[in-house]
Structure 1
Amino acid sequence: MGSAGMDIIDPEQGLSHLRAFLSVAMTGSIAKSSDDILKASSAITRSIRELEGALGVALFERRPRGMLINAYGNAVLLRAVRIHDQAEQVADELCRSKSLGAISRNVVFNLMFSGRKLQLLEQLSELRHLSAAAAKLGVSQAGASMSLSRIESSVGQPLFHRMLQGMMATDTADKLVAAGKRVFAELRHMEADISAIAGTQQGTVIIGALPLGRTYILPTAIAHALKSLPNIRVKMVEAPYDVLVSGLRTGDIDLIFGALRPEVLCRGLITEPLFSDRIGILARTGHPLAGLSGIPLGDLLNEQWILPRSDAPGRRLIDDSFAELGLSLPKASVESGDLAIVRQLLRSSDMLTAMSPRQMRVEIESGMLVELPVALGQTTRRIGLTLRDGARLPPIAHSILDSIRLHARDHSGKTGAPGHG
């Protein structure tokens, strides 16, 4: 076999062979597995061979008395068991729901081991049009329509509402898609698990990046990790917190770095605070207020402001700070969380912004921007990592996490005093 240098395993190919692999791993014998899953020995042998070919490694030692699972096989077994448990969990959940009618548990369970069907449901859920989903999957629209009809027929109910604006997923479809995404995440992590044993350290880590970490800590931490792990891929997802958390819960994202939310919003998640951050008032160097000292916050109410969106945690901190000092809330001339837009607006005008000085650290240190000496109310917030409870991240993800922790710790004391950046 090869040296674990595979690309990400194809979901259809991988899932179709995992059930045979699971049985052989548990029974230690092709013959016993044949009786266990009612499948011909030749078909099981072929499944194991094709799975090993897809993964690029042997999973068993072939011995006269049976099949002895090796270290690579144990790594795959761990993920396969998690996929099996996920399939059972969603099957049980849907069968318990009285509002869904009679759904065969076996139908749902089997669906979780069909990568092509899960991919179709996922793409339809996201794109909402059969033609777009078919094009994304490289199949004909007629083929996709027939496949969906078969899935809905087996489940015994429509999975999408056909509406003028497109196909809207039902609650059942949402549950199937979420479970399918977690299954795909386990397959993605197989690559990294196997490469770690082989010593090649390959695979993909997907990071949800909130604004505060994008400018310095995350880029620095990733660059540091890539020095020792040059073959890994890091995919950054920049989106609002709600979108990132949704991806984290389904396994589309491995970790989130940025401002932490209250515990009440973090059910099923693990939060790890790394440092506290504060808000400062920033302006261009040369701003009429830049040379002053001890500016009262109330004197800034009539200035033009660039502020985060009204639902952003940073905006709430700013509003709370004004309210704490008995002041009217500042009115935003521009609402944006895009650092490139904020940076250019500050440079080309006398507008002010209220944000973490860390987010503009490079611009402050270069002398492009300055933090005004303004006393604010309580504007500190916790910055750290958010992970999905129960997720089993591969070694490469833990290397990225350790690098983020290291650079966050090194950076935690560098908030600067107001007026000094």
Structure 2
Amino acid sequence: MEQCLGQLPTFLSVAQTGSIAKSSEKIFKASSAVARSIRELETAIGYALFDRVPRGMMLNPFGLAVLRRAERIQSVIAQTADEMLRARADVRPSEKSVLLNLLYSGRKLHLLIHIAQMRHLSGAAERMGLTQAGASMALSRIEGALAVPLFHRMMQGMVATDAADKVINAGKRIFAELRHLHSDISAMSGELSGLVVVGALPLGRTFVVPAAIAATLKAHGKLHIRTIEGPYETLAAALRTGEIDMIFGAVRDEAATPGLVVEPLFHDRIGILARAGHPLARRSAIALQDLLHEQWILPRPDAPGRKVVDDSFHELALEPPVPSVECGDLAIVRQLLCGSDLLTAMSPHQMRVEIQAGLIQELPVVMGKTVRRIGLTMRDGAMLSPAGQVLLDNIRHQSAQLAGTTP
């Protein structure tokens, strides 16, 4: 779908005017060029987008689907151009035209994104199938046309300037809309396909997200689903730029997540977990204060689970333990628990398979309040693709099932 990007301004003009001739006058292109652009777009999409009628060009249902995404892309591009040019006092009319051409060029946007990610021209050139000299020349032309540097050449590599960050973030949002467009069109043709990207925080990785993916693929076998694991801050940044469609896990307060919306799905609690056969497992009840001198595995200080654990100790007028290990990786935590007498504080649902297999058990510890909200985080104003909506609905369904169970 990315090859469609350069054709969208012409498509929008024809959709607005309802005529190739009128569009030709409006955007100062020959009628033959306008018609050719529409044909190329329809070929790339795989369907006719207009009904050719005596009174002009009328959008059909496929055209309306493209129009919805094209208008969102146009909005991103216009907003980005305004932000970049607003701070400059002496903007020539040609500069805005150059910037708009860049933002409608998928290949140029990809080059900037790859340079920012890899911080080296050689790696970006390889990704793009270019020589390093070719990539360097392309970047120089872009910077020359914009009359602003896009990267600082530093010892640690090429670091994006503020201007480049604006263009790159816009490019990611644009590519996300084009990715969704593929799913939009496939859904209308009767066979859902496309890519959905979900960010999975620790709680979601053990049951809800895998079960939702399995249910989605069972019904729609041609979908492709990608999971991204990482700290919340990394996932939230990718969510804002459209690289991720949704995040599932512990939700943050709305006030601390500008530009994002949260949908709590259920409440989860923290328990104290240890290996099966741990010396403490023989006791029928354990006071939290009796565990102060044990060795602990706890989440990082900035993780919501860590705050819940610390608050639980504070609620009972106890100082939280200093962890021997700070870790949020389930595989590492699982191995440490099974191979030692270390304790951890986490949701029993995160170790549901190991608890059911008899490898790990929850200790009978009386704790303070350890409830936290689990749910979805999405970008405010995002328009999910039909494929994304199916996965979203399955996550909601699996969450509802999990809410009433104990591991």
TM-score range, shorter chain: over 0.9
Task: Write the distance in 2 (CA, Å) between the matches of 1:212 and 1:57.
Answer: 42
Residue of 196, 201, 221 corresponding to 1:205: 196
Question: What amino acid maps onto 1:31 in structure 2?
Answer: A
Residue of 18, 27, 44 corresponding to 1:28: 18
**1:281 aligns to 2:272 (yes or no):** yes
Partner residue, 2:82: 92
Partner residue, 1:56: 46
Task: Write the distance in 2 (CA, Å) between the matches of 1:160 and 1:323.
Answer: 48
Task: Write the distance in 2 (CA, Å) between the matches of 1:354 and 1:187.
Answer: 42
**Structure 1 residue 214, shift from structure 2 partner:** 0.5
**1:138 aligns to 2:126 (yes or no):** no
Partner residue, 1:80: 70
Q: Which moved more, 1:81-90 or 1:313-322?
A: 313-322
Partner residue, 2:234: 243
Q: CA offsets, 1:223-242, max 9 Å, x none?
A: 11212111111110001100
Partner residue, 2:260: 269
Partner residue, 1:4: none
Q: Map 1:189-228; keep pairs closer than 5 Å.
A: 189-228=180-219
Partner residue, 1:171: 162
Task: Write the distance in 1 (CA, Å) between the matches of 2:68 and 2:202.
Answer: 35
**Structure 1 residue 101, shift from structure 2 partner:** 6.6
Q: CA offsets, 1:239-268, max 9 Å, x none?
A: 110010101000000000000011222111
Q: Which moved more, 1:25-34 or 1:213-222?
A: 25-34
Residue of 329, 333, 339 corresponding to 1:348: 339
Task: Write the distance in 2 (CA, Å) between the matches of 1:257 and 1:106.
Answer: 40
Task: Write the distance in 2 (CA, Å) between the matches of 1:239 and 1:188.
Answer: 22
Task: Write the distance in 1 (CA, Å) between the matches of 2:29 and 2:102.
Answer: 18
**1:16 aligns to 2:2 (yes or no):** no
**In the alignment, is the contact (CA less than 8 A) between 1:20 and 1:44 conserved in 2?**
yes
Task: Write the distance in 1 (CA, Å) between the matches of 2:98 and 2:34.
Answer: 21
* Structure 2 CA distance for partners of 1:101 and 1:260, relative to 1, 3 Å: farther
CA RMSD of aligned residues (A): 1.4
Partner residue, 1:370: 361
Partner residue, 2:36: 46
TM-score normalised by L of structure 1 = 0.94
**1:37 aligns to 2:27 (yes or no):** yes
Q: Which runs of 5+ in 1 are unaligned?
A: 1-8
Question: What amino acid maps onto 1:383 in structure 2?
Answer: I
**In the alignment, is the contact (CA less than 8 A) between 2:254 and 2:261 conserved in 1?**
no
**In the alignment, is the contact (CA less than 8 A) between 2:276 and 2:358 conserved in 1?**
yes
Residue of 85, 109, 120 corresponding to 1:129: 120
Task: Write the distance in 2 (CA, Å) between the matches of 1:267 and 1:53.
Answer: 40
Task: Write the distance in 2 (CA, Å) between the matches of 1:221 and 1:16.
Answer: 36
Other structure's SS at 1:314 match: helix
**Structure 1 residue 105, shift from structure 2 partner:** 2.6
**In the alignment, is the contact (CA less than 8 A) between 1:271 and 1:385 conserved in 2?**
yes
Q: Which moved more, 1:199-208 or 1:325-334?
A: 325-334
Q: Which runs of 5+ in 2 are unaligned?
A: none
Partner residue, 1:116: 107
Other structure's SS at 2:179 match: helix
Task: Write the distance in 1 (CA, Å) between the matches of 2:298 and 2:267.
Answer: 20
Other structure's SS at 1:270 match: strand
- The percentage of counterpart residues that share the same residue type is 59
Task: Write the distance in 1 (CA, Å) between the matches of 2:51 and 2:399.
Answer: 45
**1:321 aligns to 2:321 (yes or no):** no
**In the alignment, is the contact (CA less than 8 A) between 1:87 and 1:108 conserved in 2?**
no
**Structure 1 residue 328, shift from structure 2 partner:** 2.3
Task: Write the distance in 2 (CA, Å) between the matches of 1:153 and 1:362.
Answer: 58
Task: Write the distance in 2 (CA, Å) between the matches of 1:56 and 1:105.
Answer: 32
Task: Write the distance in 1 (CA, Å) between the matches of 2:316 and 2:128.
Answer: 56
Q: How many residues align?
A: 405
Task: Write the distance in 2 (CA, Å) between the matches of 1:391 and 1:155.
Answer: 29
Q: CA offsets, 1:128-167, max 9 Å, x none?
A: 1111111111111111111111111121111111100001
**In the alignment, is the contact (CA less than 8 A) between 1:16 and 1:114 conserved in 2?**
yes
